[in-house]
Every structure is written in C-alpha cells, then in structure tokens.
Amino acid sequence: MPFRICKSFEIESGHMLSKHLGKCRFPHGHSRRVDVILAAEALDANDMVCDFKAVKESLQGFLEAWDHALCLNTADPEFSFYQKTYGPRIIPFAGCDPTSEVMAQTIFAELQRRLRSRETPRIAAGVRLERVRITETSSSWAEYSEP
C-alpha cells in the first residue's frame, strides 16, 4: 500500500450553472475546500511523501486566481458581460458549466501538468497525484482521478 498525503486549500468562489434548470443557474457562491491527494511507494529522505509546503506552493497561485472569483461557462449568453465587467475575476470554463466535478478535473489537470513538467522541483518524480476532491457544501463533494 502506498503512502498518501492530503493538502487542503480553502477558497471562496462563485459559479453559475447555465445548463441547470433550478436555482443553480443563477450566480451563487460557496466556501470550497480543495483536497489534493498525493501518493508515493516510498518515503523521501525526510521520511515524507513530500513536504506539505511544496504542495501548497505548487497550487497556491493557481487557486488564488479562483478565490473570490466567478466561474462561468464561456457558452453562457451573459459570459461577455461578466468578463467585460469583472475582468480577471471571471474564470472561464470553455463550453462547459463549472460544476464541482469539472473544477476538480481542471485542478487535477493543472497539478498533473506541473508535476510532469517538473515545475514543482520540491516534489520528487516518484510522487503521483492520486485525486482531487472539491467540497462544495457541508454535505456535498465531487472528486476526480485518473486510472
């Protein structure tokens, strides 16, 4: 069984689900927790999978852009208005609604890209990203992983 660690981040973000038939089609926000789970077959020289601070540094800037921002589907009829009005506080999701599932997949892909390109030199090559979980409310979360 490999060793696993989890680093959690907290962000406040809004979204609007244009495909949703209920209230979620209107702008609303959540206090989200993002859990990043990393695994390794063996511990490093410091007896760790990797330093939690290295995980924080690897995603901090990416997630800070989402904090107090509004995530929107670029196909939403109001996308241009919101982007013009709020500029960088709008996080575009190309042709899909920014559901928790899509957000988890997006964060997974970004961290996976950084790990593979070695943009995270403080995280050893043998460390693998296992999954990303986003908690949207106290009773709801979505998770993304790859085989």
The type of residue at 20 is: H
The domain spans of the chain are 3-144
Burial-class residue 13 by CB neighbours within 10 Å (0-12, 13-18, 19+).
buried
Q: Which strand (E) or helix (H) includes residue 45? A: none
Is the pLDDT at 1 greater than 70, yes or no?
no
Provide the CATH number for the domain formed by 3-144 in this structure: 3.30.479.10
- Distance separating alpha carbons of residues 74 and 2, to the nearest angstrom: 39
From 62, 13, 15, select the one nearest 33 (Cα to Cα).
13
CA distance 112 to 39: 13
Q: What is the pTM of this model?
A: 0.95
pLDDT digits (tens, 9 = 90+) for 70-128: 999 999 999 999 999 999 999 999 999 999 999 999 999 999 999 999 888 899 999 99
Structure confidence by residue, pLDDT tens digits, 12-29: 999 999 999 999 999 999
Q: pLDDT category, 147, cuts 50, 70, 90?
A: confident
> How many Cα atoms sit within 13 Å of 94 on the Cβ side?
1
Show the CA angle centred on residue 46, arms to residues 41 and 51, nearest 5°.
80
Q: Are the C-beta atoms of 135 and 147 separated by less than 8 Å?
A: no
DSSP per position, 63-122: HHHHTTEEEEETTSTTHHHHHHHHGGGEEEETTS---HHHHHHHHHHHHHHHHHTT--TT
